[in-house]
Structure 1
Amino acid sequence: MSRYQFELSCPKDDQDLRVLFAATPMDGNVRVRLEHDPAVHRQHASDDHLHQTIVCRDTLSGRVIGAGSRQINLRYVNGQLRPVGYLGGLRCLPEHRSRGLVARGYAFLKELHQDQRADFYLTTIAADNASAERVLTSGRAGLPVYRPIGRFHTLLCCSHNRRRHPSNDSVEIRTAESNDLPAIARLVQHSGPDRQFFPAYGADDFQDSNGTFHGLSLESILVARRGGQLVGLLAGWNQSSFRRAVIAGYNSLWKWLRPAWNAWASIRQRPRLPGIDEALVYLTAACPLVINSDPAIFVGLLDAAIDQQLPDQRTSLTLGLADNDPLLGVARSRRWREYVTNIFLVSWPDTQPDLPTLDHRPIYLELGCL
């Protein structure tokens, strides 16, 4: 019998998963560990949205030493709704890492894929994580096919990067009210077919405590109206109650530079670099949608979110856009840091249907749901 066993997680694994998240930070000049509450995904599952956490258990200790997630929902692909999965959260304690363990994990995932809930999968890999990309895209040992389709940019935006643009007197930007919800639902439904992989959101995703945007208050949603018509939407989603990014360490250069950076940041009103075990302070931009990708409307929404929703200079607004999204150039004028991941379509060559050929529509991924 193998020492390692793969299975779906259950509530008794939650504490082990929290330990795993804390022990597996993302490497780089600044090491960050992503912590979230495993119970949240069970609470917010539905018939239209499947979320499974796969765990790898060391049978000698009984502890969880690795994990990954599989989530499935309806998304627009070339303008048509299809069931598409997302693979994420791949973690393993360093002392247990091996190519054989990765292959066995994907073999278990392939067994799950036999339920035919998803046509294929999306995933992202950090652009600077060459070793992980090399292993996962090798196609060896039964691993699935990874087809690159673009890049996803996570921008940290803050007030110091504001560049004044001429105001658009014909557009009103304000906090959403309850009577805006039907128009918000129509804008979201109208926008979906124009973007690749846009989820099939419904009104419950915004209003229901178990919806996709759980914890997102109406006061956190900004709307843009022109001539009585809703033409833009942007929300600042505070996820700190169930998801955090915590500083795990700095390399030697940034450990030395951090005090000087923070002194300079205080003068220039830029976000400071937190200490070890301190959480980054940020809101996550949700539903960055503008009719016809109008840059003037989008920059108005972005500036309003920065002005009205960020409580102080320590807080950033994180915004995720694909490299073929026409709004990316506008958003970059407000960023102070940028993090890039590569986007892949994933499938096994002996399963159906085949991976799609994508048309010109921009890729859309909801940053707060990855």
Structure 2
Amino acid sequence: MSQRYEIRPAEDGDSAALLRLIDQTPQEGEVHLNFERAPNFFHATKVTTTDPDVWVMIDHKTETLLASFSIGKREVYVDGEKRLTRYGNDLRIHQDYRGGRTLLRLFKKYRELMQDEWMQTVILDENKASINSVGSGRLSLPTYHQAGQFRTYMVDLYKKQHKATTLLVRRASNADKAQMQSFFDKHAPSKQFYPVYDFSKIGTKDNYYRGVDIENYFLAYDDDELIGMCAVWNQKDFKQTRFVSYQGKMKALRHINNIKSKFFGGLQLPSPGSLASYLSLHTVLCADNRIDIFQDLLSCILKTYHASDYEALIFGFDTRDPLHEVAKNLKA
């Protein structure tokens, strides 16, 4: 008699079932969010990791895809050196199967696959379910070590927030790729766990750079010297954030916030079920990690996308990184 439960590598044909699983497992908190992957689950996976490694759990009695996890790899800088490192994400368990036995089965397979390797992962502060289960260290689950706290900002693009710049900031072109790569190779290693990028692959069919064009990059110069860069990335074609519902006091605070923002400016909190419309900021690098360089880059981007088709610009840093202080004077 075959086993009821099977844990196996995900296949291309699993995409529709994985999308259904995502719909059934929003991230909990005062605002329930869902990080969706339409139209194909694996498009976003291949942006997150260069070497995807997604696993699914199947209940053969009901033919249900009941859980998933991803431990794919991509190169990041660790202590200044490139290292192919696993990134743990997309741990999802259908609500009908949540409990210690399902989690134990998943992590038994995880231990078989990982052996002595370690991985990175991110857990939202308000995701108490994951903190109290996966991150608890109980039930022979993996041991988690806090490496930092990442703070994310959502900056209002409808409100005029850009300032005059002192540096020359312009968009990049294909002719800039070699200079950008040299600048990146010099400064990125100083950022712990910073993803490694190959600028020659931007604008190609390489899945890791899906949706990125070289013109999405903004470059800051001091005379002819490149001293800063960052880029905007519209990922909505393969990765979406849905505001599923509001809980507790946030039900009332959402209406108060939206009335206030109409008169004084600020982000409107979308109605339940709505998708967020935003751009993501990435590859932020400044010589000597200078705040003034990032301020000029950000001002240029805010000016470019002010009153555009997008509601917000999203970016974030480790709280120990001084660059996150630039957001303090923004409506965010």
Pairwise same-fold verdict (TM > 0.5): yes
Match of 1:136 in 2: 134
**Quick check: 1:222 aligned with 2:223?**
no
1:312 corresponds to which of 308, 313, 325? 308
Cα 1:276/1:303, change in 2 over 3 Å:
same
Match of 2:161 in 1: 162
Secondary structure of residue in 2 paired with 1:198: coil
Secondary structure of residue in 2 paired with 1:90: strand
Match of 1:11 in 2: 12
Check conservation: 1:271, 1:313, Cα contact below 8 A: no
Please report the TM-score for the alignment, with normalisation by the length of structure 1: 0.81
Check conservation: 1:45, 1:210, Cα contact below 8 A: no
Cα 1:132/1:96, change in 2 over 3 Å:
same
Structure 2 gaps, min length 5: none
Q: Aligned residues: percent identity?
A: 23
Match of 2:91 in 1: 90
Match of 1:190 in 2: 186
| Paired letter, 2:283 | C
Secondary structure of residue in 2 paired with 1:303: helix
Secondary structure of residue in 2 paired with 1:209: coil
**Quick check: 1:301 aligned with 2:297?**
yes
Superposition pairs for residues 224-303 of structure 1, below 5 Å? 224-303=220-299
| Paired letter, 1:113 | M
1:40 corresponds to which of 39, 43, 46? 43
Deviates more, 1:153-162 or 1:214-223: 153-162
| Paired letter, 2:258 | N
Residue deviations 1:249-271 (CA, integer Å, cap 9, x gap): 11254334434432332333322
Post-superposition offset of 1:44: 6.1
Q: Give, in whole Å, the separation in 2 of the partners of 1:267 and 1:315.
A: 17
Q: Give, in whole Å, the separation in 1 of the partners of 2:320 and 2:257.
A: 33
Superposition pairs for residues 73-84 of structure 1, below 5 Å? 73-84=74-85
Cα 1:313/1:158, change in 2 over 3 Å:
farther
Match of 1:127 in 2: 125
Query: For the aligned residues, what is the CA RMSD?
Result: 2.4
Check conservation: 2:279, 2:310, Cα contact below 8 A: no
Q: Give, in whole Å, the separation in 1 of the partners of 2:270 and 2:245.
A: 10
**Quick check: 1:109 aligned with 2:110?**
yes
Residue deviations 1:313-348 (CA, integer Å, cap 9, x gap): 861111021122121112333352xxxxxxxxxxxx
Please report the TM-score for the alignment, with normalisation by the length of structure 2: 0.90
Q: Give, in whole Å, the separation in 2 of the partners of 1:64 and 1:278.
A: 26
**Quick check: 1:29 aligned with 2:30?**
yes
Count of aligned pairs between the two proteins: 328
Secondary structure of residue in 2 paired with 1:13: helix
Q: Give, in whole Å, the separation in 2 of the partners of 1:211 and 1:59.
A: 32
Post-superposition offset of 1:13: 1.0
